[in-house]
Structure 1
Amino acid sequence: MKQPLAYVHPEAKIASNVVIEPFVTIDKNVVIEEGTHIGSNVTILEGARIGKNCRIFPGSVISGIPQDLKFKGEETVVEIGDNTTIRECVTINRGTAAKGKTVIGNNCLLMAYVHIAHDCVIRNNIIMANATQIAGEVQVDDYAIIGGGTLVHQFSHIGAHVMIQGGSLVNKDIPPFVKAARNPISYAGINSIGLRRRNFTNETIRDIQEIYRYLYLSGLNNSDAIERIEAELPATKERDEIILFVRNSQRGIIRGYL
């Protein structure tokens, strides 16, 4: 359903039951799938790929060109999955030659004034509270929750099931299953409440706590802690996910307790 006061480029591919409110602008080379609702004054620019049953609230700008001086006009995209809610005045930039696309997954909630820069990968079931600012080429894994006003440095990696305190400055990688808080940002325990809500067993939660005792409370450096974790703790999906994250970290992981 398209309002007569909206502009939709004739080459845009819009499913028949998409709701488009007044004063929306939709450019060419845009795809919007079934059941999505586009609020008034939303701007959707070239290269947007928006999934099913999304809600985009007034004032948002999707697929703007990157705020990156290396961008030379190459053809890139923004991919947004199904059932994602994008609140007022969110901005999502498309990719550059580095990765070619910015990705937002399924079932995400991006609250008002969130910014997602070029080439980010924001996976599924993620919540970003108001005014979170994500710089270029950041990866955020499933079920992470980022508090309002958080600033995330480019190339950072935020692990799955992480909870980040509002107002944080994230300049290191944050490994999975933890809470991150304080200034400078540091490990503040594991996200046990979030894990229970997602049906992790008490035994699994205890195992994760033990892994992080080695990493953050043993006095060992990360390499030595990982060696001892592999030697002394049983192999589990969660253990191996944490080990792989720490080993692959390009920026280094956040510090332990001060």
Structure 2
Amino acid sequence: MSAIHPTAIVDPKAELDSSVEVGPYSVIGPNVKIAAGTTVAAHVVIEGHTSIGRDNRIFQFGSIGAANQDKKYRGEPTRLVIGDRNTIREFVTLHVGTVQDKAVTTIGDDNWIMAYSHVGHDCVVGNNVTMANNSTLGGHVEIGDWVTVGGLVGLHQFVKVGAHAMIGFASAVSQDVPPFMLVDGNPLAVRGVNVIGLRRRDFSPERIAAVRQMHKILYREGRTLEDAKAAIAALAREMPEAAGDTALMSEFLAGATRGIAR
């Protein structure tokens, strides 16, 4: 049997690995699956069609898999899928998806989601993402790998944030944030490149130089976005050691739907 506190309420239809720990007064619904090594602290509610992977730590008072806050939602069996090794701190709210989109909210692996943060319906959160206290993702937001979202940040519905970007404290994000960029403010502005984050991830000086050059192309040379896209594609040929980084930027710009942060 799982290590379930006697005051916890776990529906007999829920599927919990025998190594899962559930703390006092937590409630787990019938359509919940939790894999090995995950711990659920006291007073957590996990409901909906929710799948949670291995070795996650869910702290007290979390609300996981609740009905979303879309007024069109009519109780359809949409889902929440959480990967492995995530830390989900106090009072975090993670909601299921909607049938108007992909019908699933997805959170990847190794994320650090701090207290009072919110992930709305149909969001996609990648891997190694940090969401500081009170950061809020509106519905349909996409967050790339290794993104840092500062405290008290709000992200508008359908916004996309590229990998390795950093959003500063108390920013209002209503446009897409390209990979590698450092942004903050209300209105939001691009302040430069997230150099410290890239160095911490062992980017070589050559790769960082290529990222700096992409920033210059996008923001310092007065180009149109289409001209900037072409110049970044050419940069991939000039700096082959950063081909993966330029490809990441090109793919992001091609898929941007709300305009990019300036």
Letter in structure 2 aligned against 1:85: T
8 A Cα contact 2:48 2:77, kept in partner: no
Residues 1:240 and 2:247 are matched in the alignment: yes
* Partner SS state of residue 241, structure 1: helix
Match of 2:8 in 1: 6
Deviation string, structure 1 residues 223-250 (Cα, Å, up to 9, x no partner)? 1122233345525111121122112100
**Partner Cα separation in structure 2 for residue 48 and residue 225 of structure 1:** 42
What residue ranges of structure 1 are gaps of 5+ in the alignment? none
**Partner Cα separation in structure 1 for residue 248 and residue 95 of structure 2:** 29
Match of 1:254 in 2: 261
**Partner Cα separation in structure 2 for residue 139 and residue 208 of structure 1:** 21
* Partner SS state of residue 231, structure 2: helix
**Partner Cα separation in structure 1 for residue 235 and residue 105 of structure 2:** 40
1:111 to 92, 111, 114: 114
Letter in structure 1 aligned against 2:171: S
Give the share of equivalent positions with the same residue, in percent: 39
Match of 1:174 in 2: 177
Cα shift at 1:29: 0.8
Match of 1:46 in 2: 48
TM-score with structure 1 setting the length = 0.97
Match of 2:226 in 1: 223
Superposition pairs of residues 1-258 of structure 1, within 5 angstroms? 1-97=3-99, 98-231=101-234, 234=237, 236-255=243-262
Number of residue pairs the alignment of both structures matches = 255
**Partner Cα separation in structure 2 for residue 24 and residue 228 of structure 1:** 54
Letter in structure 1 aligned against 2:203: F
TM-score with structure 2 setting the length = 0.95
**Partner Cα separation in structure 1 for residue 203 and residue 82 of structure 2:** 28
Letter in structure 2 aligned against 1:165: G
